[in-house]
Amino acid sequence: MKWIVSLLALAFVQIVSASPAIEKRAAANDVANIGYATLNGGTSGGSGGTVTTVTTLAALTSAVSGTAKKIVIISGTITGNTAIRVGSNTSVLGKAGSSLVGVGLRVYRESNVIIRNVKISKVLADAGDAIGVQEASQVWLDHLDLSSDRDHDKVNYDGLLDITHGCTGVTVSYSKLYNHWKASLVGHSDSNGAEDTKITVTYAFNQFSNLNSRTPSFRFGHGHIYNNVFDNNNDGINTRLGAQLLVENNVWSSGTTKPLYSTDGGFAVARGNDFGGGSNTAPAGNFNSPPYGYSLTATSSVRSSVTGQVGQTLSF
């Protein structure tokens, strides 16, 4: 009898180990707890405000507008071909199984915004980026699932996640960016240094996979990129035009040719990374420590700890 119990226990352990990530319980009133989004008074979004659940494009558009404190929960699948403006002091949360198809979110000249556990796919270029953050401050982008496909020409879609025009206090965490041409651009253009030099962005515990470029492409500002996983991408982290990056304990799949490199005078301090057989060719920078506390996961444990948690894995 004991051996039967032991076999059943072993089988249970094996099943659990092989199962996909279990949803993690989160609270609608959670505030940013990682990276640049914790600075300057923090990022609380709509914590403590009214709570509205939406199931249609019209309802979502109305619910996220304005600057009053509010929490907007997306339920079900909402389709369209547009980008919706998200107002300040707002938390946009996706229920498990919810998605936006062809509908992007835009944080433009706003502050104190949380977008969390939201799945967005196939936003066409004429609508813009899946998520676009411009001239904004204190933004936490967490547990996102962002994708399109690479079956179409790269002009069919724009970026998955672009952070431009002098944004400060932005954190991208536990998110999954995949199956796309142009993943994540930081800094608007080569001629926009006067505005974009102040950019501050953290990328932590994300997975970038099956992407052509911009993983991310980073102009002018300061970026802390740590404990991320990069798989089967055509391009790596590109530090550009005076950007100062701190790149720590990230992991690339084998065969990556340029995991970290520079164009037009970008810089990076690289520590503890597994470049998957590739090498860092970026000039050494001077950004050695971010202005916030953080804990690094050991490089050898990054893949196993990150891949099971990224994307829409929260439950509200």
Please list the active-site residues: 214
Contacts of 15 (CB under 8 A, 6+ apart): none
Q: How far apart (Å, rounded) are the C-alpha atoms in residues 44 and 106? A: 18
In 125-275, alpha helices (H) = 193-196
How far is it, in rounded angstroms, from Cα 142 to Cα 21? 16
Type of residue numbered 50: T
How many whole angstroms separate alpha carbon 237 and alpha carbon 67? 35
CA 294 to CA 35: how far, in whole Å?
7
Is residue 286 exposed (0-12), middle (13-18) or buried (19+ Cβ within 10 Å)? Answer: exposed
Write down the H helix ranges in the chain. Answer: 2-18, 57-63, 193-196, 299-307
Q: Work out whether strand 217-219 and strand 260-263 pair parallel, antiparallel, or are unpaired.
A: unpaired
Q: What are phi and psi of 210, to 5 degrees?
A: 55, 50
> Which of 313, 310, 307 is CA-nearest to residue 251?
307
CA 65/CA 304 separation, integer angstroms: 38
Q: Taking Cα atoms as reference points, which of 188, 171, 184, 278 lies closest to residue 227?
A: 171
Rounded Cα–Cα distance for residues 249 and 59 (Å): 42
Distance CA 278, CA 276 (A): 6
Q: The tokens 């304990």 sit on which residue?
A: 249
Tell me which amino acid residue 291 is: P
